[in-house]
């Protein structure tokens, strides 16, 4: 099974009584196998065209807009990257390329944050 960039996986599609985890695929995904949440296996059968209602979704320890990145731990992987969009109280793991992605693979996505270190200031600082 494979997922592609832009796919949205919604736990409510097949499990309406669950925590309602919603993830968006940000990259990679050729080796995607499943997401385990609330003891349900979410697969490509749970892909939806858009995010449904936020009503009834239960957030867990995963903050919204967190990216789970397979390449961060496994350089030989397909590079699956997903963003947590909503829900997630019952999140356990994402299985891709035989690897398990858990909370320890999260990387906070901050808008406006530049990569690397900021350049050192030169000259005098102050107001004109």
pLDDT tens digits for range 2-39: 899 999 999 999 999 999 999 999 999 999 999 999 99
Residue with tokens 């009503």: 55
> What is the strand order of the sheet 91-96 is part of?
40-42, 32-37, 91-96, 99-101
DSSP 60-75: -SS-TTEEEEGGGT-T
The ranges of the chain with pLDDT < 50 are 108-111, 113
Q: What is the pLDDT of residue 74?
A: 85
pTM: 0.79
The whole-number pLDDT of residue 90 equals 94
What pLDDT shows up at residue 118? 55
């Amino acid at each position: 099974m494979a997922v592609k960039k832009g796919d949205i996986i919604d736990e409510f599609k097949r499990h309406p009584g669950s925590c309602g985890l919603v993830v968006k695929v940000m990259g990679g995904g050729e080796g995607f196998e499943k997401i385990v949440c609330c003891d349900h296996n979410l697969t490509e059968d749970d892909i939806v065209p858009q995010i449904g209602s936020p009503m009834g979704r239960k957030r867990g320890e995963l903050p919204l807009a967190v990216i789970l990145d397979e390449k961060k731990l496994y350089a030989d992987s397909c590079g699956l990257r997903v963003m947590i969009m909503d829900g997630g109280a019952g999140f356990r793991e994402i299985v891709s390329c035989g690897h398990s992605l858990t909370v320890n693979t999260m990387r906070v996505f901050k808008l406006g944050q530049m990569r690397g270190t900021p350049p050192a200031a030169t000259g005098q600082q102050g107001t004109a």
